[in-house]
């Protein structure tokens, strides 16, 4: 019998989105907000809303995710962006196969609403997903950051990337370790606030560079 999952939310200036996220967090799920150098009131708002708040001074999506993983204590951990582009209500569907013991890593496959996913970011995601399928045989269509896995097993994968390559490295190492991967469809909404990565061409290019380097290494 599993305890309720911890939900790791890397956050950089997301004070405007946290209220919506926290009010839709499934009962019993603990939110861990990792403040990754915010200049707004992200940490204060998150704490007031009942989240566990930790600070990670090393900049980078992977650094924030790793810090959250180290702070988590639940047997199952979830990851999702803190910009309200993902709906926490859907987390139990992502977690279900982990709890049932039929999958080791579950990824949310984004079903975007109009305007939620810029074309350049969507194309980059398609290219990366194709490369994963071609190189590993994993039936992956999306590298979306809403996902769930067993906490201790994830730590043992030894993920090293601390930048935008974190989501890809997790999939690559999980595949190498013989994990059972599964995708479930999830909704994808226009984010609240300004995007730091996929909303800009420069940010997407930087993320694509990080992930291309990982693909070359693996």
Q: Can you say whether residue 51 is alpha, beta or left, with left for phi > 0 and alpha for psi between -120 and 50 degrees?
A: beta
Q: Among residues 147, 142, 27, 32, which one has the least CA distance to residue 86? A: 147
Place of tokens 């469809």: 185
**What pTM value is reported for the model?**
0.91
With the C-alpha atoms ordered 188, 192, 194, 196, is the resulting torsion angle positive or negative?
negative
6-217 carries CATH number 3.30.160.60: no
What distances in angstroms separate CA 132 from CA 76, 139, 171, one per listed residue? 25, 8, 9
Provide mean pLDDT across the span 140-164: 95
- Mean pLDDT, all residues of the chain: 91
Is 65:142 a contact under the CB 8 Å cutoff?
no
Inform me whether the pLDDT recorded for 1 exceeds 90.
Answer: no
* Rounded CA separation 32/178 (Å): 28
Contact (CB, 8 A) for 108 and 184 = yes
Contact between 151 and 69 under an 8 Å Cβ cutoff? The reply is: yes
Beta bridge partners of 183: 107
pLDDT at 3: 82
For residue 70, pLDDT beyond 90: yes
- pLDDT band at residue 197 under the 50/70/90 scheme: low
Averaged pLDDT for residues 101-108: 98
- Is residue 12 predicted with pLDDT exceeding 60? yes
Q: Given this model, what pLDDT does residue 207 score?
A: 66
What pLDDT was estimated at residue 208?
A: 63
**What are 90-101's pLDDT values in tens digits?**
999 999 999 999
Reported as half-sphere exposure (CB side, CA atoms, 13 A), residue 32 has a value of: 21
The residue count for the chain: 218
More confident residue, 3 or 170: 170
Sign of CA dihedral 18, 21, 24, 25: negative
Alpha carbons within 13 A on the beta-carbon side of 195: 18
Summarised one tens digit per residue, pLDDT across range 114-148 is 999 988 888 888 888 998 888 888 889 998 899 99
User: Strand, helix or coil at 98?
Assistant: helix
Inter-residue contact 193 to 187 (CB < 8 Å): no
Taking phi first (over 0 means left), then psi (-120 to 50 degrees means alpha), and beta for anything else, what does residue 82 get? alpha
Of the candidates 33, 3, 37, the one whose C-alpha atom is nearest the C-alpha of residue 18 is 33
Among 1-5, 176-180, 193-197, the range of highest mean pLDDT = 176-180
pLDDT band at 45 (very low <50, low <70, confident <90, very high): very high
Q: What does the pLDDT look like over 23-41, one tens digit per residue?
A: 999 999 999 999 999 999 9
Distance separating alpha carbons of residues 44 and 40, to the nearest angstrom: 9
């Amino acid at each position: 019998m599993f305890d309720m999952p911890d939900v790791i939310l890397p956050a950089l200036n997301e004070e405007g989105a946290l209220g919506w996220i926290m009010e839709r967090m499934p009962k019993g799920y603990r939110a861990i907000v990792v403040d990754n150098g915010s200049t707004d009131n992200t940490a204060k708002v998150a704490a007031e809303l009942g989240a566990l708040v930790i600070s990670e001074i090393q900049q980078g999506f992977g650094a924030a995710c790793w810090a959250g993983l180290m702070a988590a204590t639940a047997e199952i951990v979830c990851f999702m962006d803190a910009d309200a582009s993902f709906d926490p209500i859907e987390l139990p569907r992502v977690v279900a196969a982990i709890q049932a013991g039929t999958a080791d890593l579950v990824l949310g496959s984004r079903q975007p609403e109009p305007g939620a996913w810029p074309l350049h970011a969507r194309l980059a995601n398609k290219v990366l997903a194709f490369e994963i399928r071609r190189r590993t045989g994993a039936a992956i269509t999306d590298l979306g950051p809403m996902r769930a896995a067993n906490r201790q097993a994830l730590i043992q994968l030894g993920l090293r990337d601390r930048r935008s390559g974190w989501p890809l490295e997790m999939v690559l190492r999980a595949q190498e370790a013989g994990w059972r991967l599964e995708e479930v469809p999830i909704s994808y909404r226009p984010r609240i606030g300004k995007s730091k990565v996929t909303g800009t061409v420069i940010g997407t290019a930087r993320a694509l560079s990080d992930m291309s380097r990982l693909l070359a290494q693996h």
